[in-house]
């Protein structure tokens, strides 16, 4: 879709008499959109956009499931391929084929037949490292999963809880893909023995515990964190003069591909507005806003990516992956096993 469809702000697709002039996006705490793009949607569609963040992606998905039948809003943004099957099984979405879907590669369309969700962005979950820390201590930064369990990196890594965090679960799934169903638990025993720290979600891990995060203002003491291959550009944005490289780097042998989706919530109070919002989220205007707002790649193949993003970001050629049906079959069991190993 090359532009958003203007809709009259009248009528509601819901049954509860909700304000038809407002459309509500239920999402995670990391959702961000520039003021100008948000204003463009509101002007062209006639709807006021209300954003309702609900913690990390895992928590937000759990809340959407718990509120099934009486959703908190009209559209959910932020369910990814690690959690997708759960949302689909619980039936929290209504089918809708968003405008512009023809511009999204088939490999990202994991619900292509039914269109209960729309792919909106993708990224690679990877271990990020603080360049200054490793330079100061004259230690080579880790590159692979095997490196992370070496004595040189003891007590340096913080990751997110697999049960409550999307990147945390992605990191666990990456170890399953790397070491197999029989070997990943042994790897986590080694990681635990090497002092890995676990926190609830990405915001806490990256913006509070990670020493390389500008948001932590030097208070973080973990030079390794599970984040994204596209996180380094966020540390450069607004820096003058622009550095030759980002202050954070990527351990390229620790990555897992995530695809993030949005969907029209079943029984949405404003179904018509929800459809307009989904069209907006897949429009080039929003898609080209995504890289420097949420530091992930746009789903549309015709969306332009800023030079800052490409210069300081890292392209992962061979991320770890798992088939969605494999995740569906084993996810809950793997999370329980992980929790008993790491959180005890």
User: Is residue 4 assigned to a domain?
Assistant: no
Residue where the block lists tokens 């895992």: 58
d(CA 229, CA 127) in angstroms, rounded, equals 8
Give residue 199's pLDDT band: very low, low, confident or very high (50, 70, 90). very high
How much is the average pLDDT of 209-220?
A: 90
Question: In terms of pLDDT, which residue wins out, 30 or 19?
Answer: 30
pLDDT in tens, 149-192: 999 999 999 999 999 888 899 999 999 999 999 999 999 999 99
What CATH number is attached to the domain comprising 164? Answer: 3.40.190.10
Q: Mark whether 223 and 268 lie in a shared domain.
A: no
Count of beta carbons in the 10 Å neighbourhood of residue 74 = 31
Q: What is the pLDDT of residue 56?
A: 79
Give residue 1's pLDDT band: very low, low, confident or very high (50, 70, 90). very low
Does the pLDDT at position 257 exceed 80?
A: yes
Q: Mark whether 137 and 153 lie in a shared domain.
A: yes
Provide CB contacts within 8 A for 178, sequence distance 6+.
145, 184, 187, 320
Q: Mark whether 71 and 196 lie in a shared domain.
A: no
User: Is residue 13 assigned to a domain?
Assistant: no
Q: Mark whether 168 and 232 lie in a shared domain.
A: yes
Q: What is the pLDDT of residue 212?
A: 95
- Structure pTM? 0.78
Q: Mark whether 128 and 111 lie in a shared domain.
A: no
User: Is residue 185 assigned to a domain?
Assistant: yes
User: Is residue 217 assigned to a domain?
Assistant: yes
Q: Mark whether 55 and 105 lie in a shared domain.
A: yes
Q: What is the CA radius of gyration of the chain?
A: 20
What are φ and ψ of residue 115, in 5° steps? 60, 35
Is the distance from CB of 176 to CB of 334 less than 8 angstroms?
Answer: yes
Does the pLDDT at position 320 exceed 90?
A: yes
Q: What is the mean pLDDT of the chain?
A: 91
Q: Mark whether 137 and 201 lie in a shared domain.
A: yes
User: Is residue 1 assigned to a domain?
Assistant: no
User: Is residue 141 assigned to a domain?
Assistant: yes
Q: What is the pLDDT of residue 19?
A: 61
Q: What is the pLDDT of residue 239?
A: 85
Q: Mark whether 56 and 192 lie in a shared domain.
A: no
In the chain, what percentage of residues exceed pLDDT 90?
Answer: 76
Q: What is the pLDDT of residue 5?
A: 32
pLDDT in tens, 82-140: 889 889 999 999 999 999 999 999 989 999 889 999 999 999 999 999 999 999 999 99
User: Is residue 14 assigned to a domain?
Assistant: no
Q: Mark whether 248 and 128 lie in a shared domain.
A: yes
In the chain, what percentage of residues exceed pLDDT 70?
Answer: 94
User: Is residue 132 assigned to a domain?
Assistant: yes
Q: What is the pLDDT of residue 155?
A: 98
C-alpha distance from residue 16 to each of 64, 123, 229, 270 (Å): 18, 37, 42, 9
Does the pLDDT at position 30 exceed 90?
A: no
How much is the average pLDDT of 262-270?
A: 97
Q: Mark whether 114 and 191 lie in a shared domain.
A: no
Tell me how many domains the chain contains: 2
pLDDT in tens, 232-249: 988 998 888 889 999 999
Q: Mark whether 143 and 239 lie in a shared domain.
A: yes
Is the distance from CB of 189 to CB of 229 less than 8 angstroms?
Answer: no
Angle between helices 57-66 and 166-179 (to 10 degrees): 110
* CA 141 remoteness from chain centre: 24
3-state secondary structure the chain: CCCCCCCCCCCCCCCCCCCCCEEEEEECCCCCCCHHHHHHHHHHHCCEEEEEECCCHHHHHHHHHHCCCCCCCCEEEEEECCCHHHHHHCCCEECCCCCCHHHCCHHHCCCCCCCCCEEEEEEEEEEEEEHHHHHHCCCCCCCEHHHHCCHHHCCCEEEECCCCCHHHHHHHHHHHHHHCCCCHHHHHHHHHHCCCEEECCHHHHHHHHECCCHHHCCCCCECEEEEECCCHHHHHCCCCCCCCCCCEEEEEEEEEEEEEEEEEECCCCCHHHHHHHHHHHCCHHHHCCHHHHHCCEECCCCCCCCHHHHHHCCCCCCCECCCHHHHHHHHHHHHHHHHHHHCC
Q: Mark whether 171 and 297 lie in a shared domain.
A: no
Give residue 305's pLDDT band: very low, low, confident or very high (50, 70, 90). very high
d(CA 205, CA 214) in angstroms, rounded, equals 13
Q: What is the pLDDT of residue 31?
A: 94
Can you give the residue range of the structural domain that contains 157?
124-257+316-342
């Amino acid at each position: 879709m090359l532009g958003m469809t203007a809709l009259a702000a009248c009528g509601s697709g819901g049954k509860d008499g909700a304000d038809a002039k407002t459309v509500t996006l239920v999402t995670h705490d990391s959702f961000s959109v520039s003021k100008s793009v948000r204003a463009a949607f509101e002007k062209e569609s006639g709807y006021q956009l209300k954003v309702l963040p609900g913690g990390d992606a895992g928590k937000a998905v759990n809340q959407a499931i718990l509120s099934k039948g009486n959703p908190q809003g009209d559209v959910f943004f932020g369910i990814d391929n690690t959690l997708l099957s759960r949302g689909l099984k619980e039936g929290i979405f209504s089918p809708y084929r968003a405008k512009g879907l023809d511009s999204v590669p088939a490999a990202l369309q994991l619900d292509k037949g039914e269109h209960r969700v729309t792919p909106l962005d993708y990224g690679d979950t990877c271990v990020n490292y603080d360049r200054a820390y490793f330079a100061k201590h004259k230690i080579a930064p880790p590159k692979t999963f095997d490196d992370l369990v070496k004595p040189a990196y003891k007590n340096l890594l913080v990751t997110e809880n697999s049960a409550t965090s999307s990147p945390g679960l992605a990191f666990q799934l990456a170890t399953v893909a790397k070491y197999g169903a029989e070997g990943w638990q042994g790897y986590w025993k080694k990681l635990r023995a090497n002092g890995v720290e676990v926190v609830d979600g990405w915001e806490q891990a990256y913006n509070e515990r990670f020493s390389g995060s500008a948001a932590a203002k030097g208070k973080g003491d973990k030079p390794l964190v599970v984040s994204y291959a596209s996180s380094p550009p966020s540390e450069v944005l607004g820096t003058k003069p622009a550095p030759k490289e980002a202050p954070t780097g990527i351990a390229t042998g620790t990555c897992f591909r995530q695809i993030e989706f949005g969907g029209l919530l079943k029984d949405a109070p404003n179904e018509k507005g929800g459809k307009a919002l989904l069209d907006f989220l897949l429009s080039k205007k929003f898609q080209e806003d995504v890289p420097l707002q949420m530091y992930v790649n746009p789903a549309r193949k015709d969306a332009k990516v800023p030079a800052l993003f490409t210069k300081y970001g890292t392209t992962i050629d061979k991320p770890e992956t798992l088939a969605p049906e494999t995740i569906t079959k084993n996810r809950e069991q793997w999370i329980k096993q992980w929790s008993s190993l790491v959180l005890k």
